[in-house]
Structure 1
Amino acid sequence: MRIPEDTVERIRQAADILEVVGDFVSLKRRGSNYIACCPFHNEKTPSFNVNPARQIYKCFGCGKAGDPVRFVMDVENLGYGEALRYLAKKYNIEIAEQEVTPEEQNRQTERESLYIALNYAKTFFQENLLQTDEGRGIGLSYFRERGFSDPTLAAFELGYSPDQWDALLTDATKKGYNPTVLSKAGLTIVREESGKTFDRFRGRVMFPIHNVSGRVIAFGARILKADPKAPKYLNSPETDVYHKSQVLYGIFQAKQTIRQEDVCYLTEGYTDVISLHQAGIKNVVASSGTSLTIEQIRLISRFTPNVTILYDGDAAGVKAALRGLDMVLEEGLNVSVVMFPDGDDPDSFVRKVGAEAFKAFIKQNAHDFITFKTDNLLKDAGDNPFKRAEVISEIVGSISRIPDPIKRQVFFQTTARQLKVDEQTLISESNRLIRKQRDQQIKEHDRQQERDARNRPAPQSGSSASSSFGPPDFSDGPPDDFFNDLLDEAGIDPAPGEVQRPASNVQRPAGSENRPPLAYQEEECIRLLMNYGARELEPGVSLCHYILSELNDIDFQHEPYGQLLTLFRDSFSQGRVLMADDFMHQRVDLPTEQANSFQYEAISLTTQRYEISENWEEKHKIFVPSEEDTGVLAEAAYGNILRLKKLLAEARMHDLLQQIRITTDADESDRLMADYMHFKRVDVEIARLLGTVISG
């Protein structure tokens, strides 16, 4: 089904990049832009840049870039149409589409079909909880006993699954849902031996699990009747949309408060999250009873670097969990730990003492992870010197994982006092561990290189290498090494024309390509056109006019710059100067794939990673000229044109030398040599204008 163009434009106009990105990461203002740690790759120093003026984002680490629609597509792994629907729902924009028939629904992409089925199941369970005698008598009674109010039930979309073998399957089939999709979503089970299908969840209260954007991706279910053969808790299996290690229960409901409070409380169970949320402590999530994973830690780090882990009074469970928390330190998060009295967990404790007393308890009893771990291990070690030595080694290992050297130093000081050992002893042991780890990484790297070398095809014969370049001597014809050396000096690809072009829909990280110098100059030319094409260098002469006239007989050799130059020429011939915004907001009539590719190029060529502070000149009395100044801009365009022409001259010289090598006709050789010397003079003159030092 197609979304009307006017609706698409309304959605694009309504979507604010700060609001859309802010749903997934915690943004901090820097100058006129905002920064954050990138949600698409692991990093500890923010390289993700959001420009509210242009309504774009750009990561200088992994290269991801785009507008609000592209961000939703990337972060949620959605198609274009579904990203538009997501934004339409967020901004309450009605999309006038035909009603989905069962046949059309089956034609939806499989991933989106899973979301649709899971959302249906959520509604089915909610209705059974609130509108059936069984649901009210069993499920709702349980939630009332836990003290959950109607707003809380609605906030977490809690429900109840009927105690029947196929209640959901029967209802879903009547409403046109595909049984295969229900099975793939983890809602039903197909018994292999008999081929019969039945509901996965029966006679249980249901806890929908949401992703960061609020879509239901799975369920947790608790049985209420005594059944020794049935597990107390039952979770959805892994599916295309649900990966347990990457999800935190309650993150959708908690993310805004986590940002505001700048701390995330981490618990173990669903009811812990719900009870604390109802008590007004909304910055809380749960690992759903699983060991904490790297992916879950990184999910928290999108919103805050501060984590407080809330443990119940089970000492054995705490000791086991402590060993898995070093990776939280390794990710650069600030970790604190709170232990509740024996027999209490966050759910029972907050219901016992109330929200204010609960917050006060956390404030008084929160200890940094290193101190907490040291105390617990020392209690077990007692006065046994061997066990105390093991404690010291383990604590040093934990501190060594902290990436910030200043934090490490502080912990060495406090831990030395706590362990009653010399600080330098801890530092020396840490250095030994770090060296050992580094040696292991080097060995693994070497082993990987050896494996790569064994798998690498043997080099073709006939290849030559050069190490020096001197004045040419053509008395016996140009020597073989001369041509290769000239290519190396000029930085020209040994096989001109065989340019490896990235697929137009691939976003390439900055600096990830090994491109020839000419490609960089073509890119710089397009960058100037996109940013300043309409600017007048002198009355009646725009930068676009100047560059296109200088490049009148030149075509770019590398894509997408050749295609972009053609677009600039075609548009200028019609009296219009294209700008970056035309590509960013896809106002140029192009095929979708090409429009997406050019959108990425426009963002990459207009986004600067750093900007000068507004108070720089006043504070330091140092004036830094802006590229937007007419004189600076004209000089930049002039230099770019000269460098382009110099590289083209060098490439032409390369071609002529290749032809000289293979010709046997003396007259043809003389003509080619005359052409070569012409381009050599052009090359020398441009070098003089650029102020380049000529050798040889």
Structure 2
Amino acid sequence: MRIGQDILAELQQRLDIEEVVGDYVSLKRKGRNLWACCPFHDEKSPSFSVAPDKGIYKCFGCGKAGDAINFVMEVESLSFMDAVKQLAQKYGLELPEEEADPQDLQEHQEKESLYIVLKFATEYFQDILKNHPEGKSIGYSYLRERGFSDAIIQKFELGYSTEAWDGLLKAATEKGYSIDLLEKAGLIILKEEKKYDRFRGRVIFPIHHPSGKPIAFGARMLGSDKKQPKYLNSPETPVYHKSNVLYGMHLAKRPIRQQDNCYLVEGYTDVISLHLCGIENVVASSGTSLTVEQIRLIGRYSKHITVLYDGDPAGLRASLRGIDLILEGGLQARVVVFPDGEDPDSYSRKLGATAFAAYLQQEATDFVVFKTQLLLKEAGKDPLRRTEVAREVVSSIALLQDPMAQAVYIKECSQLLNIDEPVLTAELQKVTRRKASQQQQQQQSFLPYPDAPPPDYYDAQPEPATAAKPQSVTTHFDSLALQELEGIRLLLRYGFKSLSENLLMQQYLLQEVADLEFKTPVYRQILELYRQQLEQGRILDEQFLLQQESAEIRQVVAELSMSRYELSAAWQERHHIYTTTEEDHLDKTALQYVLRHKFRFVRALIHENQQQLLHTSSEEGVTQILLVHQELKKAEMELAALLGNVIAG
């Protein structure tokens, strides 16, 4: 489906990128821009920046950039059309029906169909709970016995499935839903010639996307059949990936941001019980091991997690790895442990809302201290086991971001472990050095052109006279792509700025690169748009490009428009220290760009020519290629001389 330029422009005008991004991460203002830890990769200090005045974002760690539409596409894993529809609905813009691309339409329709049938199933299970004799006598009675009010049942959209093998199947097919769709949604099971409901004789807990759409179900058995699992969950589907989902997040995201803390529990009923106590900033991992994706999801709203555990020692020991993941994800973790035999659900009902809320506040223990005390209790007086405890504790301290916090924990754990601070500090430094070495090896994965040399490599590095290592194809063309990107940047930023002799930057650049074919499709497309707009007497600026349907174009614009560092406006006024900028030397900037671009372009042609030589066998063809090679090398030498480079003959 295509969106008209006028509609896209209208949507861009309505969008508030601060509000859009703020639904997923906690933004803090620094200077003109807003900053947060990136939602697309793990990091310990904020490198994700949003420019509200420009309507764009950029992460200076992983390189992700774009506008509000790009952001929703990335964070929700949506197509362009789905992201536009979601934002249009949010900002009250009606989209016209237009001809759709068949493949995009098929993917979109499948997901939309799944959402619709899952919504139908949710309403079906709710209706069974309220109106069916079995639902009222068994499911509703159970929920009321647990202390769940009608309001809370409605809030979480709880339901019930009857013992019938095909209750939902019949109801859904009568409404026109296909067997194939019901299976894809995880609602029925097809086995040989049989087809039947997945959930039977169970209380139903709908699992929601953070936006509020039902995407899956958890179901608790109420009978005594030991052959059946007590809890049964939906399988993975195109709209449900359990490692990315936290139960209750659709209700918790705003309270988490407001309280700047997220309570993390294990099960559905734990979440509901805390809501009954008036505590809404709570989510559940639904019985699965905590994942990096779930931690990242919480981190969008707060950097503080309080994990609630029952008193089972084996469960506590197994949970330590999950909390280490929390620290590694750059979040701060605290722990509340309940008395033996109690869990958040049972203990909240025993204490009552006010006393339970006070208990959570009073008993919250910092994770590092909690881990130290727990492991020491297990180790007893065994010196070897106490040594291992010390190493485990230091490994957790090394995950903390703040060096001052590390120093405080080292001091406190020194007293708990009865080990001198310098010994623990030395171990911490060892772990830190090992981590730094590992991170350094991984940094290349975040570079936009992993195989390319730095942008000024060919200008700053003289080539050795001896035979050098042959360069890969990607080196030549990635370096050329960088130069093409630089040309786009200069046109967008300074296109209508005057050079000497009343010549505009755009006139000079477009004339000089007229014979240089841009190899990178997205840069070639932007250059062509620039020329077209110029011919029509219009100015192509960032806003025009941000209204293009191409996500690649919008991402390029965002990358070029964002700077990690800002020079304070008060710097010159307060300190009378004046700093020259690129704009002060546009003539030199333009000339250097043209020479570098031509130099790289000629080098790419030389490489192409050499590749042709390898695949040419005729004498006439070889002669012609060698003549071209001589001309190209001559041009290369002339450009190198102008740039001050040394080129081996």
- Matching residue's letter, 1:423: E
Q: CA distance change for structure 1 residues 679 and 80 in 2, over 3 Å: closer, same or farther?
A: closer
Question: Is 2:635 the counterpart of 1:639?
Answer: no
1:267 deviation in Å? 0.9
Aligned to 1:468: 464
- Structure scoring higher RCO (CA < 8 A, sep ≥ 6) equals 2
* CA radius of gyration, larger in: 1
Contact map agreement 2:118 2:216 (CA 8 A) in 1? yes
Contact map agreement 2:39 2:300 (CA 8 A) in 1? yes
Q: CA distance change for structure 1 residues 160 and 84 in 2, over 3 Å: closer, same or farther?
A: farther
**Range with greater deviation from structure 2 (550-559 or 33-42):** 550-559
Q: Deviations over 1:143-189 (max 9, x none)?
A: 33333344433332222223321111111112221212211221111
Contact map agreement 2:66 2:557 (CA 8 A) in 1? no
Q: Deviations over 1:77-110 (max 9, x none)?
A: 2223322332233334455669xxxxx9998554
1:663 deviation in Å? 9.6
Contact map agreement 1:249 1:288 (CA 8 A) in 2? yes
1:538 deviation in Å? 7.7
1:374 deviation in Å? 1.9
Show the 5 A alignment for 1:430-449.
Answer: 430=428
Question: Is 2:552 the counterpart of 1:597?
Answer: yes
Secondary structure in 2 aligned to 1:227?
Answer: coil
Q: Deviations over 1:304-356 (max 9, x none)?
A: 22111111233443233235433323333211111223343222333344444
Aligned to 2:33: 33
Q: Output the CA distance in 1 between the equivalents of 2:290 and 2:492.
A: 46
Match of 1:561 among 523, 526, 530: 523
Q: Deviations over 1:446-487 (max 9, x none)?
A: xxxxxxxxxxxxxxxxxxxx9733xxxxxxxxxxx7xx77xx
Secondary structure in 1 aligned to 2:165?
Answer: coil
Question: Is 2:16 the counterpart of 1:63?
Answer: no
- Matching residue's letter, 1:152: I
1:205 deviation in Å? 1.7
Show the 5 A alignment for 1:111-510.
Answer: 111-192=111-192, 195-322=193-320, 324-402=322-400, 404-430=402-428, 468-469=464-465
- Matching residue's letter, 1:604: E
Secondary structure in 2 aligned to 1:205?
Answer: strand
Secondary structure in 2 aligned to 1:310?
Answer: strand
Give TM-score, length-normalised by structure 2: 0.82
Show the 5 A alignment for 1:68-83.
Answer: 68-83=68-83
Secondary structure in 1 aligned to 2:409?
Answer: helix
Secondary structure in 2 aligned to 1:57?
Answer: strand
Secondary structure in 2 aligned to 1:303?
Answer: coil
Contact map agreement 2:82 2:108 (CA 8 A) in 1? no
Q: Output the CA distance in 1 between the equivalents of 2:621 and 2:358.
A: 93
Match of 1:622 among 563, 567, 577: 577
Percent pairwise identity = 48
1:12 deviation in Å? 4.2
Aligned to 1:577: 539
Contact map agreement 1:331 1:403 (CA 8 A) in 2? no
Secondary structure in 2 aligned to 1:325?
Answer: helix
Secondary structure in 2 aligned to 1:237?
Answer: coil
Question: Is 2:494 the counterpart of 1:532?
Answer: yes
Q: CA distance change for structure 1 residues 674 and 401 in 2, over 3 Å: closer, same or farther?
A: closer
Q: CA distance change for structure 1 residues 213 and 695 in 2, over 3 Å: closer, same or farther?
A: same
Q: CA distance change for structure 1 residues 525 and 328 in 2, over 3 Å: closer, same or farther?
A: same
Q: Output the CA distance in 2 between the equivalents of 1:658 and 1:398.
A: 53
- Matching residue's letter, 1:254: A
Match of 2:563 among 590, 608, 633: 608
Aligned to 2:447: none
Aligned to 2:445: none
- Matching residue's letter, 1:81: M
Q: Output the CA distance in 2 between the equivalents of 1:535 and 1:438.
A: 45
Q: Output the CA distance in 2 between the equivalents of 1:219 and 1:335.
A: 29
Show the 5 A alignment for 1:537-548.
Answer: 542-548=504-510
Q: CA distance change for structure 1 residues 559 and 190 in 2, over 3 Å: closer, same or farther?
A: closer
Q: CA distance change for structure 1 residues 140 and 93 in 2, over 3 Å: closer, same or farther?
A: farther
- Matching residue's letter, 1:53: D
Aligned to 2:448: none
**Range with greater deviation from structure 2 (128-137 or 362-371):** 128-137
1:558 deviation in Å? 4.5
List alignment gaps of at least 5 residues for structure 1. 99-103, 446-465, 470-480, 501-512, 587-591
Q: CA distance change for structure 1 residues 565 and 116 in 2, over 3 Å: closer, same or farther?
A: same
1:517 deviation in Å? 4.4
Q: CA distance change for structure 1 residues 322 and 356 in 2, over 3 Å: closer, same or farther?
A: same
Q: Output the CA distance in 2 between the equivalents of 1:384 and 1:184.
A: 54
1:605 deviation in Å? 1.9
Q: Output the CA distance in 1 between the equivalents of 2:410 and 2:434.
A: 19
Number of matched residues? 619
- Matching residue's letter, 1:425: V
- Matching residue's letter, 1:641: V
Contact map agreement 1:649 1:682 (CA 8 A) in 2? no
1:128 deviation in Å? 2.5
- Matching residue's letter, 1:613: S
List alignment gaps of at least 5 residues for structure 2. 99-103, 443-461, 614-618
Q: CA distance change for structure 1 residues 86 and 670 in 2, over 3 Å: closer, same or farther?
A: closer
